[in-house]
Structure 1
Amino acid sequence: MEKIKSTEKISADLAVHRIIEQIEAPLESVAFDVPLQLPKCVRCQLSCPGYEICQEPEIKWLRKFYVSRNIKKKPERGFTPYTERCVENYLRTELEEVFHPPHALGSNAAPLTARAHFIARRLQVPAIEVYPKLSLWRIGRALGVQKSYLRFHKHSISGEEIREAIISYLIKKDIAFIYHQDVKVLIASPHAFDAFICGLTAVLKFNKQVEPRPKGFPRDEQWIAIPKQDLVWP
């Protein structure tokens, strides 16, 4: 991580590409923990009738989702199709645990999303999208890690202790071999830890241990790599 920084001659983005190019083993994919597809209304090239009556599958899915949501919860809410995607809303409501991924082009995620798109377009291998908090939950539960650890691995006070415990689980179960100096980095940095979880999710995807696209989910809408609940470790 200390190598990824801008200098007078190269940008941090170029530094990322140079690190990727130095990997000797065959590279199957690169995992990102930010949206790799923009919301439908940003990428749409059609004449716009307004999202209230739009018949594009992604917008119809969002309308139906919010109608169902507003029956169950108050106050009623509308959606913003230029910041939201179907996948984030699915993750918030349709899984065994409550998650709160940010909008793809919300104020927090938008700069990171733009940077990811800039970096991904130069890659020579597929890019996959990961939500580390969900991946950690699925991986951790499959290993028997207690739920409180998985919910608070970024906590400002107990986060380092929790990350150390999770890494110990992975090492003891022979899921990962990690050098001691790298263990120290993963414990100290929640960002490095999330990057590690993204990489582990990419391995699971390669081994076909991720969830398929849900039935009825828009065909052209981005689906992310989610580890299966019933993981089978090699």
Structure 2
Amino acid sequence: MGQSRNIAGMSMKGGRKDNFFFCLVEYYESSDRWFLRSLLQVKDEEGLEGDDAIRSWIEDYKVNQLVVDFPLTWPECHACQLDCPGSKLCPVDSVVSVRDRVEAILDEDSNIHTRHPKEYERSRVSDDEFDMGRGMWDKESHEHLLSRSFKRRLKKGFLPYWNRSVDFWIWKYYYDQYLDLFKSSYDSFGNTSLMILSRFSYLKRHFPKNIELYEGNVNLTLIELLRSKILLNRDIYNMGDIEAGIEARLDIIKKIEAKLNIFIYDHDLELIVKNPRAFDSFILAVTGQRNLLDKVRKIPEWTKPSLTRLLVPNFSE
């Protein structure tokens, strides 16, 4: 499992005055169990600015790995010095690679339609119909027949000032499920503010030199929990309901606690259930726990995983 025995998750999306939560889970060998050791809120630390509190927690708890919920790398346009020919003609290798992969999927879809037009249309009608018996994992987004929504996403193109290569990988394997469950799609900088990125860039300069930083995504982790049948569809659907949201978070936490051998004290459980930001930080810590156990999905080299450091957990093992 490696030398590190603890992992922290911290959801920082939002404004400067938002209340950030620092969630630390730790493995105790003597009891062969994981514990939620600490769930701290920035504003709870008296006498410390929020940024100083975060640094203090990392040092006091000897945190070796931290999972956050925003990009650790920039899109290609950020540092590009070329005379820009436009996103559709961008010559940067990583952008060309993704563009070629997108075109290959769309070309295959077009070829299927050309060779078997009637069968294609029948499949399209069938795919559009609601079917209670159809499973969410019957096919991945890139597998044909492409959904209308995924096809539209691909036709919009890859935007090197907005997307990273890993965005396309996420679309390829999660787009339809992400859209169905959360009514949105993944974009690296879709809801990440420049202020948060700048703030974290400042914070990193004060962290211990040996800390390992990772990017997590709460929705992707919930999707993988669903894939492994730890969660049910309704658990995630109910999270967005004003009245059912608290109960849904409680059900999700209880299932994670039971299946992943994580003990949570009652006062921490209450805070996670009542505060969505605390919930997100806990899910990020769970994402990191899977990394400590070497149970994460392998992400291809063309997405630059050594730089993005995106973690997508695997709960099936």
User: Structure 1-normalised TM-score?
Assistant: 0.80
The answer to whether the Cα contact below 8 Å between 2:72 and 2:309 also exists between their aligned partners in 1 is no
Q: Any idea what SS the aligned residue of 1:199 has?
A: helix
Note the 1:76-225 alignment, pairs <5 A: 76-95=155-174, 98-99=177-178, 100-106=184-190, 108-111=191-194, 112-124=196-208, 125-142=211-228, 144-173=230-259, 175-214=261-300, 216-218=302-304, 222-225=308-311
The aligned residue for residue 91 of structure 2 is: 55
Taking the aligned partners of 2:161 and 2:260, their CA distance within structure 1 comes to 43
- Name the amino acid aligned to 2:42: I
Taking the aligned partners of 1:217 and 1:29, their CA distance within structure 2 comes to 21
**How far apart are 1:81 and its partner, in Å?**
1.2
The answer to whether the Cα contact below 8 Å between 1:32 and 1:128 also exists between their aligned partners in 2 is yes
The 1:193/1:28 distance shift into structure 2, 3 A limit, reads: same
The 1:155/1:67 distance shift into structure 2, 3 A limit, reads: farther
Q: 2:77 aligns with which of 17, 25, 41?
A: 41
1:230 aligns with 2:313: no
The answer to whether the Cα contact below 8 Å between 2:290 and 2:296 also exists between their aligned partners in 1 is yes
**How far apart are 1:199 and its partner, in Å?**
0.7
The answer to whether the Cα contact below 8 Å between 1:205 and 1:227 also exists between their aligned partners in 2 is yes
The answer to whether the Cα contact below 8 Å between 2:170 and 2:186 also exists between their aligned partners in 1 is no
1:64 aligns with 2:150: no
Q: 2:63 aligns with which of 23, 27, 32?
A: 27
- Name the amino acid aligned to 1:162: A
- Name the amino acid aligned to 2:228: A
Taking the aligned partners of 1:66 and 1:78, their CA distance within structure 2 comes to 8
The 1:147/1:3 distance shift into structure 2, 3 A limit, reads: closer
The answer to whether the Cα contact below 8 Å between 1:6 and 1:12 also exists between their aligned partners in 2 is no
The answer to whether the Cα contact below 8 Å between 2:235 and 2:248 also exists between their aligned partners in 1 is yes
Name stretches of at least 5 consecutive residues in structure 1 with no aligned partner: none
Flag the structure with larger Rg: 2
The 1:61/1:120 distance shift into structure 2, 3 A limit, reads: farther
**How far apart are 1:136 and its partner, in Å?**
2.1
Q: Considering Cα pairs closer than 8 Å and 6+ residues apart, tell me whether 1 or 2 has the greater RCO.
A: 2
**How far apart are 1:223 and its partner, in Å?**
4.6
Give me the identity figure in percent. 21
Q: Any idea what SS the aligned residue of 2:156 has?
A: coil
The aligned residue for residue 14 of structure 1 is: 52
**Cα RMSD (Å) of the superposition?**
3.1
The 1:103/1:137 distance shift into structure 2, 3 A limit, reads: closer
Stretch deviating more after TM superposition (114-123 or 65-74):
65-74
Q: Deviations over 1:58-93 (max 9, x none)?
A: 211332244357666349423431121122232123
- Name the amino acid aligned to 1:116: F
- Name the amino acid aligned to 1:28: N
Instruction: Report which of the two has the higher share of strand.
Output: 2
- Name the amino acid aligned to 1:93: K
User: Structure 2-normalised TM-score?
Assistant: 0.61
